[in-house]
Structure 1
Amino acid sequence: MRVQEMVRTGLDPLVLVVAPDPSMRRALTAELSQDGYRVTVTATGAAAVRLLDEQRIDLVVVDVDTPDLHDLARERLTFSDRPPVLCVTACEFLGELLPMLGTRIEDYVTKPCRSAELLARVQVLVRDRSGAGPVDVLRHGDLLLDDTVRRSWRGDRLLEVTPAEYRLLRHLLRNAGRVLSKEQLARHVWGETRAGNAIERLVSRLRQKVDETPPALIHTHRGFGYRLSLAE
């Protein structure tokens, strides 16, 4: 296996979700958050334009049924350095562009969105935006996670982890050296806060698999949370 090491140079990519339907906003937010993206949401095109002016957005995911998109498009607003746009649409043809959100629509997914397809298209667009090329493998010491095949290893030992344990491990790896609270971990793993003992049980199961081989990598900071690090 060819290993690429991930060097953290900033925050996780920020995705702007634009959708008038609250259930769609919640579903898209949960999917993206669980995959490691930061998410901000709005229900209107006008609010989206304001957010694009105020923040450095890496990708816009927009429902084409957002009521004021076409009114904004007719204004022919021009901006520099707009992020790519991924449209969520009920059909497979997009006849007009949305210049208020970007210079062009880079891609689309059809309703109802399939999780794997949505996340794959988001990943490609964010990578193209960053210009950094693929970063699929995370490593800390002899702990390795390959996101392309959704597997992880400790040295030569394959870790047989569940999907929830995998999401937890990936988030700990992405934030190696940082103490993460139970609430932060729960939101990332399940898209919602849960009782503290739910994360405690999940961390315990993951620790049994990861730290079967010394030295221990997953550390508890009582009253604060958990940290993945080679150092105590």
Structure 2
Amino acid sequence: MSKPHILLVEDDMALAELISWHFEKQGFRISQTPDGEEALLIVSEQQPDIVVLDWMIDNLSGIEVCRRLRRNNDTANIPIIMMSARGEEEDRVRGLDIGADDYLTKPFSPRELIARVNAVLRRMRPALAGGTLTYANIEMDTVGYKVKRGGKTIPLGPTEFRLLRHFLEHPGWVFSRERLLDAVWGNESDIEIRTIDVHIRRLRKAINANGEADIIRTVRSAGYALDAEAVA
């Protein structure tokens, strides 16, 4: 198995060197830049397995880098961990809302960052490997574009497939309609928010067609989640 590839975007060079040394010691491959614009260029040339991204960086803020990665269909599913000295709840929420998978407040130990990266990679690696995603009795072949539930094939349209894939990559997570719009449709900004509800209904109808329990949970005023425990 090839070494996991991390893109580290950090303009504190002493901290960047320290983090890089610890990750290389753990068997990771590191690309490094202090510049937000260059980070986007690196990702476009060779997608990393995960991006570790500081909030305050040169030329383009970490928040804007995260936003652009999430709105591009080709990079929407790359895991992102944000780092920042901004530890207020409002800042953490903003970072997560914009699309970060985790948020780490400075100062932190390299050991904690490595543990956070490993946790995110364990959760996301099936999608990155382009293999099979499974949750409860749902199985998705991301290469062959096939979905089964309880062993029975489920026909899905392209949009419902992408929507289900996003849920399978983040089981239990509650996603707002806006977040789903960014993740599934990318920068097709002409799509209306209410369109999400239409595709959720179509997805529910398809995966519940054989009398299965509704595994998609509606969270009032918040959004939707793929949640088997809610129907258990």
Q: What range is the shorter-chain TM-score in?
A: 0.3 to 0.5
Larger Rg over CA atoms:
1
Structure number with the bigger relative contact order (C-alpha 8 A, sep ≥ 6) is 1
TM-score of the superposed pair, with normalisation by structure 1: 0.46
TM-score, normalised by the number of residues in structure 2: 0.46
